[in-house]
Structure formats: structure tokens, C-alpha cells
Structure 1
Amino acid sequence: MEILVCIKQVPGTSEVEVDKETGVLKREGIDSKMNPYDLYGVETAVKIKEQTGARVTVTTMGPPQASEILQEAFMMGADEAALFTDRKFAGADVLATSYTIAQGIKKVNIPDLIICGKQTTDGDTAQVGPELAEFLSIPHVANVTEIIEVTDKSIVLEMDMGHSVEVVEMLYPCLITVEKGINVPRLPSFKLKLATKNKKIPFYSLNDFEDKDEKKYGLNGSPTRVLRIFSPEANADRETWTGSGEELTAKLVKKLKELKFA
């Protein structure tokens, strides 16, 4: 069985600058980490590997330094990795990102099961996983909270529908996005770090893809644009009130009306 996990390198701090012309985050020179939701995806894949003997490949789209999170995935138990990197991929929205990763997966090989985290902390759209499945023409299920059974031909899982829970069986190849409550991600292993420190990670650029049309990638392939993005202003103002319950209630109601919350 072949499993592929899509992960992403995201800023490790909230102090991130934004390019005023493109609305794209400036990622150079800032601390980065693996997207927290993707840790649950890697853990899900490794658990299936331990049960079935599957091979786990991790992949990401990003600059060369994004290989750091692929190395981290090795330390969690992943077997292989691939990095899709090209300046022409920069500034991609969810559509262009999904298309790029789909082209990369087609180059590497479509696996039996693709696992994505629910969403990323720098975008929070939760759209890339489902869009990726559409570009690959494979079935998908989002909001997976439990893997019930894994067989040679299908996977049985539980998904959160908000007001209900459904159990679904999907035939391979397929894609799932996992919720953070599905497991507890393991810590990176120092033993695996030593064993994989010299492991080579193949890089793939636009020239390696079947579709080399630059208009479908990066900013050129993005139908959406960020018009404005800004950091919220911090408000540390506070007041201390004393009095009886009735007095404090009246003050609170008056304050809420002043702030237009009531």
C-alpha cells in the first residue's frame, strides 16, 4: 500500500510582513514550522504503516528550505519525500496550489491513499485537500475523526458532519483530510534523525510537470487576490468596577451599549 501525505511549512510566528502589491506573505527570513494540522496527517499515515506495512511518502510545495519539514516527517516515520519548488509557483491561491500539487503527484505517482491536514494556519481555507482530489479525479472525504479499518482495497472511516457522524467506506485511490482530534502526533525520533540525515529529497520544478503552462501556476494561475490584510490592533484598556450586583449590572449594560454590543 502506498500512502502520500501533503504537508506545508508555515510561519512559526504571528510577526509576518505582507507584500503590499501582491498581498502575499513574506516568508523569507522568518522562523517556520510544519503546519500543526499536518502533524495529525503524518501520524495517521505512520499508524497505518505500522498496521499494514504501507510505505509513506510526504510532499510539499514551497521554497527549497521547505525540505526542513520533510526531514521532520522522516523523524516521525515517513519513508520517502518530494518537494515541488519553483519561483513560478510563488503567490499561488488555493486553486493554483491544488493544481500544482496535483501535477506533482502525477509526476511522482498517484498513491492508494492521500492524507491532508484539515487546513493550514496561514490560510485557514480547508479547500486544498478537496480541490486536490478533484484535480486528480479521485473520491475524497473531509473532517475525518477516526480510521476504523484499512483493507487492501478500501478504507473505512468516520467523519464529522457537524450535527451528525457518518461512517464511510472508500475504494482506493482516494483522499482524506483529518481533524486534529484523530490522534496525538508522536515526537520526532532522534534515532530516525540519525538514520535519515543523509537521505536525499528529490526536487521537482515546473519543467518536470506534464502541464508546463505558466498561466496555471503561482500568481498567474490564481483567480483570487488578497485586497487587504493587516494585523489586528491590540487593546489593553481595562476598567475596575466596584459596587453591588445591581450597580455592576447597570454599569455593564451601559458599557455594552456604548461599545455597540447591545
Structure 2
Amino acid sequence: MIKFFRKIRYNLMSENKTGKYLKYAIGEIILVVIGILIALQINNWNNHQKDLVKEQKILLQLKEEYTKNLAQLQQKITMRNNIITASSKVLSYIDNPINVSKDSLLYHLNFIGTDPTFDPIKNDLIESGNLHLINNESLKQRLSNWTSDVYQVQENELEWQKFRTEVVMPFMVSNGLARDLSNNIWKDGYTPIHALNQKINLKTKIGSSKHSLAIEEILNNVELEGLAAMAITWSNIANIQSLALQENIIEIIALINKEIER
């Protein structure tokens, strides 16, 4: 083909047909430009198709991750609700200490000692530079804000974790509750709500404390009243943030599904 065009140009020049030669040269340039543009369009289309394939792969991975994040977050919300219920029950025992059984008190105190912490799956979408592959702008924005949204929940969790470590657990130990609390957890078999394998029911014999536990004295301890009240406060605050994050995750999954199905 190149030889054919070259021969035409040579004939036009040899016949001294300058005008026709210039027209032909311009036409040839236009054809070359059109060819280049077509090649670029094809290349861009191929790259776009490859990006769509990558996007779908990322979307499927994100759907799996955020579905697991949602399940974990709901689990932590449930744990905090248990803390709130147990703490409210302990406060009712403090206000009305008549006929409060040791087993019932220990049962509810165990919930107050739990430590719900949300630890979502971390993806490297932003760090890897692949966020641009997401075409849905609303989804892209939510994914960009994800880290800061999670921090709002974890910030409150860390406050409770510190309070639990520095106040709740020392109270249990110093007031002779720790062994009985541990024994009540494990004596009949126990599977933590956050356990990776929910089929495992572990039994461990710790035995009850030989020291007498004065229920009335425990309930009259002003520190117990304070830590039960604080447990309710911190759990409610963390759940307010968690419920907002839960709604965000649900919307993220909905947007992902929409993009997968398009």
C-alpha cells in the first residue's frame, strides 16, 4: 500500500502536476490522521473494556468485604445492647437489693466486662490508586470517606476500652468477683459472640471462689453504680455511631449491587 501511494506521488511529480500533487499529499495526510484517530479510538475502547473488567472484579471483592463488615458491626451493636441491658439490670439491683441472687448478679456483670471493638476488613483501593476505576461517583465518595467514618466508631470504643481496663476489670478483681465471673462463663461451655468458629463450645473448670461474696456489700459499693452507668453511656454513644455506619454500609452494598448488575 505504501509503495502504491509512493508511485502515485512519483507520477504526479514527474508529470509536473504540482496542484494535483499538493491535493493528493493533503488527502494522504488526512487519511493518515484518520487512521491514527481510529487506532487511538480502538486502543481507548480496549483499555476501557479492560478497566470495566477490573472494576467488576473490584466491586465483587468490595461486596464481599462490606457484607462481612456489616455482619461484624451488627455483632458489636448486639454486644453493646447486651451491656446496656445488663448494666440497667445491675442498677435495678442497686436500687432494689432485696432477694438479689449471686448467680443473677454475676451473669449481668459478665456482660459489663465485655469489650466490643469493630475491626473492619481494610482494602487498599485508595492506596493502590484503583479508586478511579469506580465509575459511580456516589459510591466512590462513600469509599473515600470510609476510613474517617470507621474512626468515629473506633474513637468511642477506645474510650470504653480504656475505662474497662482501668476501672471495670480492677473493680471485679479487687472485690473478689473475678474467679466467680470466670467460672460462670466457662463451667457450662461458652462460645463468645465474636468467635471465628461459632461451633466451638469450650468448657473449662475454674471453680467458685472459697471466699464469701457479700452481695449486699457489692451492691452498696458506689463504684459499681458508677461503672454500670458509664457502661450504658459509652455503649449508647458507640451504638449511635455504629447505627449510622451500619446505614452507610447498607447503602454502599446497594450501590455496589447496582453497579454489578448494570
State TM-score, norm by structure 2: 0.22
Higher relative contact order (CA 8 A, sep 6+): 2
State TM-score, norm by structure 1: 0.22
